[in-house]
Amino acid sequence: AQSVTQLDSQVPVFEEAPVELRCNYSSSVSVYLFWYVQYPNQGLQLLLKYLSGSTLVKGINGFEAEFNKSQTSFHLRKPSVHISDTAEYFCAVRPSNFNKFYFGSGTKLNVKP
Partner 1 sequence: DTAVSQTPKYLVTQMGNDKSIKCEQNLGHDTMYWYKQDSKKFLKIMFSYNNKELIINETVPNRFSPKSPDKAHLNLHINSLELGDSAVYFCASSQENYGYTFGSGTRLTVV
The DSSP bridge pattern shows strands 10-14 and 107-112 to be parallel
* Minimum distance, C-beta of residue 6 to partner 1, in the bound complex (Å): 11
User: Cα 50 to the chain's mean position, in Å?
Assistant: 11
Residue 53 phi/psi, 5-degree rounding, is 85, -140
From the list 62, 105, 110, 112, which residue makes contact with partner 1 (rule: CB under 8 A)? 105
| Binding residues for partner 1 restricted to 40-99, rule: CB under 8 A | 41-46, 49, 51, 88, 90, 94, 96, 99
Least Å distance, CB 85 to partner 1, is: 17
Where on the chain is the footprint of partner 1 (CB under 8 A)? 32, 34, 36, 38, 41-46, 49, 51, 88, 90, 94, 96, 99-101, 103, 105-106, 108
